[in-house]
Amino acid sequence: MNSDKLFQEIQKKHSFLCVGLDTDPDKIPRHLLKTKDPLFVFNKQIINATAEYCVAYKPNIAFYESQGIPGWKALEETAIYIREKYPEIFLIADAKRGDIGNTSRMYAKAFFNHLPFDAVTVAPYMGRDSIEPFLEYQDKWVILLALTSNQGAADFQLIRDKENIHLFERVISRSADWGTTDNLMYVVGATKASMLSLIRQKIPDHFLLIPGIGAQGGSLEEVAEYGMNKKCGLLVNSSRGIIYAGHSKDFAVAAGEKAREIQQSMAKLLDQYL
């Protein structure tokens, strides 16, 4: 999928919502734990209830990995289910991988060959050769961490270099030509919306993946105001706020309603800024 196709989907659905599948056995409704494959059963219902309101899904790999082999099985089933039933939806592995070249190549293989993901989140610390193996796959994307939404973001990402430039800005400016606007986007936390103008000066055309709306407290309006470009250029993620909106048997209905609510706010913002 390229950026034009992604923008088409955004226009079609009047939404730039990404639903984060941070599926945790301790948080899903109790009755599902009696099923054989609770994580996938939960995801399937969430997906069917939210697919019309979102353009992307983002399973958070840690949640599956923490469950060992049954977790990986649920991840695989979830990815394949989305790919087959909703081929138009952008599928992100939130994995935050990154290693020396020959090892990153293996991670790329895991998510792009073995699993049908469109994109992987990658950590920049190890530099260019840790990122390039992911970029070698046609029609696949790297989503590089720039400015994250957590408190610890300040520890290193906000260090200023000799020219007074933040580390996260260096990450963006140095990496921007390693890929294109059709295979490289950046993670920018919604809790740092004020930084979005600065980032848009450097990379007006790249898509940004914005976590931190909802549970982490970011504002959708601010993100749109400072971050939207002429092809929208935003995927805004909400995880816990949607998938754990309900806790009873009709949890999926509650999730669908929450996703619809966010989609409707997004539709207004798209009207306003595009």
Query: To the nearest whole angstrom, how small is the minimum distance from the Cβ of residue 5 to a second copy?
Result: 27
Query: To the nearest whole angstrom, how small is the minimum distance from the Cβ of residue 107 to a second copy?
Result: 5
Identify which of residues 140 and 260 has a Cβ nearer to a second copy in the complex: 140
Query: To the nearest whole angstrom, how small is the minimum distance from the Cβ of residue 259 to a second copy?
Result: 21
Q: What Å distances lie between residue 87 and 14, 36, 81, 146, 208, CA to CA?
A: 18, 26, 9, 28, 21
Rg (CA), the chain: 18
Considering the candidates 44, 73, 85, 96, report the single residue annotated as catalytic.
Answer: 96
DSSP 181: T
List the structure tokens of 88. Answer: 């138009």
**Is 57 in a helix, a strand, or coil?**
strand
Identify which of residues 145 and 232 has a Cβ nearer to a second copy in the complex: 145
**Is 28 in a helix, a strand, or coil?**
coil
Contact indicator for 19, 57 with CB cutoff of 8 Å: yes
202 assigned to active site: no
List the structure tokens of 45. Answer: 């219902």
Contact indicator for 191, 212 with CB cutoff of 8 Å: yes
Contact indicator for 10, 44 with CB cutoff of 8 Å: no
Query: To the nearest whole angstrom, how small is the minimum distance from the Cβ of residue 189 to a second copy?
Result: 9
Identify which of residues 133 and 256 has a Cβ nearer to a second copy in the complex: 133
Identify which of residues 63 and 251 has a Cβ nearer to a second copy in the complex: 63
Closest CA to 180 of 136, 120, 213: 136
Query: To the nearest whole angstrom, how small is the minimum distance from the Cβ of residue 1 to a second copy?
Result: 22
List the structure tokens of 201. Answer: 């000066």
Q: For residues 141 and 153, what is the distance between their CA atoms, to the nearest angstrom?
A: 23
Contact indicator for 75, 115 with CB cutoff of 8 Å: yes
Query: To the nearest whole angstrom, how small is the minimum distance from the Cβ of residue 154 to a second copy?
Result: 7
Residues forming the site for a second copy (CB under 8 A): 22, 24, 60, 62-63, 65-69, 72-73, 76, 94, 96-104, 106-107, 109-110, 113-115, 123-131, 145, 148-157, 159-162, 164, 167, 170-171, 174
Identify which of residues 53 and 63 has a Cβ nearer to a second copy in the complex: 63
Q: For residues 83 and 78, what is the distance between their CA atoms, to the nearest angstrom?
A: 9
| Active site members | 96
